Amino acid sequence: MEYIVETKHLTKSFGKEKAVSNLEMKIPKGEIYGFLGPNGAGKTTTIRMLLGLMRPTSGSVQLFGKDMKNNRIEILKNVGSLVENPSYYPHLTAKENLEASRKILNVPKKRIDEVLQQVRLHGVANKKVKGYSLGMKQRLGIAAAMLHQPELLILDEPTNGLDPSGIIEMRQLIQSLPKEYGMTVLISSHLLSEIDQMATRVGVVSKGKMIFQDSIETMRKFAQASIQVKVNDNEAAWRSLLANGQKADLGEESVTLQAEDDEQVAASIRYLVQQGFSIYRVQEEKRSLENIFLEMTKEEQAG
Amino acid sequence: MFSVINSEWYKLRKSKVLFLLLIAPLIGLFIGIANSSIEIEGINAWHGKLVMMNFTYAILFLPLISGVLASVICRYEHQEGGWKQLLALPVTRGKVFLSKYLLLILLMLVMQLMYLVSIYLVGMIEGITDPFPMDIVWKSIFGGWVATLPLIALQLWVSIAFKSFAAPFAINVIFTLPTILVINSERFGPYYPWGQPFLMMNIGGSTEDVFFVPWDQILMVVGGSFLLFFIGGYLYFLKKAI
């Protein structure tokens, strides 16, 4: 498989503290890769190393199959980025900010209007960025990242500070990029719901380690449903199910059936009815991705 | 390389501090007009003017203005993540450093040339009839510029290192003020980066040399400190964590 981003044993230490440790990130072409982890897990440090802003303590970074160490300029010609808080020159307008980058990137002037249109800042293009709201600055940052139509777009917390409608717009924009321009996108976030709605692949990082990396579908499979039954006497019902050889867990207010298919659920319910329990409720509960994410990162922290 | 300088020039131009370049030549002009020089028989009347104007210009305003410009050229990078934005573009850090430095020394050359205009204007206004001492003035203007090269490298280094605008400015003022004392010391004077512009601009000494200060001293002191500060700042910037 062709990987746009591939890191090998990537490690960054600050003193004794390992901010990133043995990280192996693999991003295939055309994917929207959600880079997920709690605050301080090492996401931004990893992204800085991907952009060559920071040198790894050990390990390597390869973008487009080229080593970052020796091909930095060549690689960066095809990478657009927004790292952490939006970066900008406060004394310049949006247009002038983009012009300062454009001179270095050497792209046609019309690209400035095009990207401003894409992030819907064309109305305020001639105002000083100093007076922009956080959301507008964020959008300007994304516009700057797309100026040279890069093959790889790296966005660190791109929806920070955006209002709900801004988030939806941004999501639509990001989702359209692989389809329309064949871009590969890396988005980092600490919010799973956000990644869940955009990403096609997920990497979960905790304490500097990659603890999960696969397609979003695989991650969703972890979110298996369970059946909760509420009866007049939960404990008695639970004992009776166990005595009958059916798997169940006792919860505080209900019994959870560990059923693998619908027939098993039906069998358990039939049995409970026959035993004379009053069944108040049978409901399906899905473990949310949020819970899975929390469990994943918690296990790591405990260990 | 040119595109990086072009971008730097664009950002600096838009920051509206270039009027600062006018201040020092204007003050030179006022000092030249305000003080009547003593006429001494047999000495070119321009000399008296030059000695007086150079004193305030080279000791005080030249190093102060170059320091402010060095801070400004780094200030907007420090403010809102500009370094990050700039260095994630396909540029090498070396080119960024060199571009900023080249832009600064070019601006200082412009300021020196404006100062030359000031000198000429003073003479016109005062009605000096002696011939304009072209060679002396050029030595002063061009030599003074050469002597700012190490100073600017040092100021750029300090400005990159400090995130705040005030710190490099304060450091610059602290080291500029004692210049008047330090240049009187024969031992330390030539080695003081803030004093070098004055020593180079000060007229006198032997006129046979290309500059007023002997070549070997220029090469050693100005050249040596230039290499020290430029390479130091350059390496510091290459290693700096952004």
* B34 CA: distance to closest CA in chain A (Å): 38
- For the stretch A108-157, pLDDT in tens is 999 999 999 988 899 999 999 999 988 889 899 999 999 999 999 999 98
Provide the CATH number for the domain formed by A3-221 in this structure.
3.40.50.300
Rounded Cα–Cα distance for residues A181 and A57 (Å)? 34
Reported ipTM: 0.84
Q: Is the pLDDT of residue A301 over 70?
A: no
pLDDT over 70, % of chain A: 95
Q: How far apart are CA B47 and CA B208, in angstroms?
A: 17
Residue scoring higher pLDDT (A190 or A109): A109
Contact yes or no for A83 and B91 at CB 8 A: no
Q: pLDDT tens across B12-43, in order?
A: 999 888 888 998 899 888 888 887 666 666 67
Task: Using an 8 Å CB-CB cutoff, list residues of chain A that contact chain B.
Answer: 48, 51, 53-54, 72-74, 76-77, 79, 81, 83-92, 96, 99-101, 103-106, 144
In whole angstroms, what is the distance from residue B18 CA to residue B69 CA?
Answer: 8
> What are the extents of the domains in chain A?
3-221, 225-286
B207: pLDDT strictly greater than 60: no
Walk across the sheet containing A209-215 and list its strands: A79-82, A152-156, A184-189, A32-36, A201-206, A209-215
Phi, psi for A110 (deg, rounded to 5)? -65, -20
- For chain B, the distance separating the N- and C-terminal CA atoms, rounded to the nearest angstrom, is 21
**Under CATH, which number does the domain A225-286 receive?**
3.30.70
Grade residue A262 by pLDDT with cuts at 50, 70 and 90: confident
| Model confidence pLDDT, tens digit, residues B110-159 | 999 999 999 888 888 888 777 888 877 788 888 889 989 999 999 999 99
Nearest-neighbour CA in chain B from A92: distance (Å): 7
Q: Which of B8, B9, B14, B95 to mutate to test the interface with A (most CBs of A within 10 A)?
A: B14
Name the residue among A48, A74, A89 with its Cβ closest to that of B11. A89
* Angle in degrees, 0-180, between the axes of helices A134-146 and A164-181, rounded to the nearest 10: 10
Highest mean pLDDT among B44-58, B61-75, B199-213: B61-75
* pLDDT for the residue A33: 95
Produce one character per residue of A107-127: b if its CB has 16 or more CB atoms within 10 Å, e if not.
beeebbeebbebbebbebbee
Task: Give the pLDDT of residue B40.
Answer: 64
Query: Which residue in the set B4, B15, B90 is minimally distant from A76, CB to CB?
Result: B90
Among B231, B233, B92, smallest CA distance to B155 is for B233
Residue B212 pLDDT: 66
Distance separating alpha carbons of residues B140 and B202, to the nearest angstrom: 7
Nearest-by-CA chain B residue for A71: B90
Number of independent structural domains in chain B:
1
pLDDT digits (tens, 9 = 90+) for A200-248: 999 999 889 998 899 988 887 766 677 888 988 888 888 888 888 888 8
Mean of the per-residue pLDDT values for chain B? 86
Q: What is the DSSP string of A66-127?
A: EEHHHHHHHHHTTEEEE-SS----TTSBHHHHHHHHHHHHT--THHHHHHHHHTT-GGGTTS
pLDDT, chain A, mean: 88
A3-14 vs A17-23, strand pairing mode: antiparallel
- Relative to beta strand A201-206, strand A209-215 is antiparallel
A196 or B217: which carries more pLDDT confidence? A196
Please give the pLDDT value at position A195. Answer: 87
Q: Give the best residue of A72, A88, A89 to mutate against chain B (max B CB count within 10 A).
A: A89
- How close A202 gets to chain B, by Cα (Å)? 24
Q: Which residues of B touch A (CB under 8 A)?
A: 3-4, 6-7, 10-11, 14-16, 76, 79-82, 84-92, 241-242
CB contact under 8 A, A90 and B76: yes
> Are the beta carbons of B198 and B57 closer than 8 angstroms?
no
Range of the domain at B29: 2-239
pLDDT of residue A223: 65
Instruction: Write the CB contacts of A255 (distance below 8 Å, at least 6 apart in sequence).
Output: A228, A229, A230, A231, A234, A237, A238, A241, A248, A249
Mean pLDDT across A7-17? 93
